[in-house]
Amino acid sequence: MTAIRGFVGASRREGVLGVHSMDSFCMRVPDLDRAREFYLAFGLDVREEGNTLGVYTFGNPHRWGTLSEGAKKKLDYLSFGVFDDELDGFRRHVDDQHVRRIDPPPGAQPDGFWFRDHDGNVIEVRAAEKTSPNQKSDVFNTSAPANVAAAPLRSHAEKVQPRRLAHILVFTRDVDRAVAFYCTVLGLRVSDRAGDGIAFLHGVHGSDHHLIAFAKSNAPGLHHLSWDVSSIHSVGLGAMQMADKGFSKGWGFGRHVLGSNYFHYVRDPWGSYAEYSSDIDYVSADHDWQTGHHDAENAFYIWGPKPPDDFTINYEGDQT
């Protein structure tokens, strides 16, 4: 597996305060056994950790997520990473924004500091190693020469194993307020927007086109977790891998406009999605990305099948 360059020689924009990574997520699900089955099939390393499950990528010690059991699916909190020498300054900055700090959730490590965003979501800021990539991730869309069979036998196809958590898309009641909060308080920057319906935010110290995105809904909630893979072939092979395990509902194969990544979404047992993503746009630490404002037609996907009718439904919200 190709090394994740985001763990070596962290890129940084000096003199600018901002989170550098989406460090981890914590989510409750109604059935941990079913969650283990889904994420193992997806190609992730799922480990029992007490009464929770830790979500890892193979060959990488970083824990990208924690799953606990609850009555229904709920995103418990998001954790963002900052450089160690900026933690105290970040704490003062958040206080200066008149954001009230709260106690850590039960079972969470108290090594960062905690507060709620504009929608009431619990947020942690902690000193952590940079897990956002420091340059555009390697992509291997190679072509075989003449007289050579390029595709393996299906029985010999490798198992798709994502390299890292790429980004998270969450629902919000108000996209404008989400952008204002996450840019002002966390130092993120807007890559692209489509009206008041969706916004994509990147990290100032070098990150993919978005490490978090917001879509308008009637309540907070998780839409999808996106996982980086190394090729278009891996996106398609991952979709087949999941279908073979009984997880055939989803959307793809296609290519997004904003972010440019190739995608396939697989629906999880609770109405949100896990995305195989490859070749997303990248914003370097020394580059000021020009924020785009787009209409809906030019903001979703450039090619691919029509998405399911319920693709944008927030199953954590009240749909009555």
How much is the pTM? 0.95
pLDDT by residue (tens digit) across 168-180? Answer: 999 999 999 999 9
pLDDT by residue (tens digit) across 265-294? Answer: 999 999 999 999 999 999 999 999 999 999
What token pair was written down for 40?
């193992």
Residues 28 and 9: their CA atoms lie apart, in Å, by: 34
- Would you say residue 7 has pLDDT above 60? no
CA-CA-CA-CA torsion sign (215, 217, 222, 223): negative
* Mean pLDDT computed over 145-150: 93
- Would you say residue 231 has pLDDT above 60? yes
Kindly report the CATH class assigned to 16-130+161-303. Answer: alpha beta
Among 156, 192, 157, 161, CA closest to 299 = 192
- Would you say residue 298 has pLDDT above 90? no
CA 86 and chain centroid, separation: 23
Hey, what long-range contacts does 260-267 have (CB within 8 A, 24 or more apart)? 260/209, 261/166, 261/209, 262/232, 262/235, 263/226, 263/235, 263/301, 263/304, 264/235, 264/236, 264/238, 264/239, 265/224, 265/311, 266/42, 266/238, 266/239, 266/242
Q: Helical H runs in 12-105?
A: 32-42, 87-96
Q: What is the predicted pLDDT for the residue at 137? A: 95
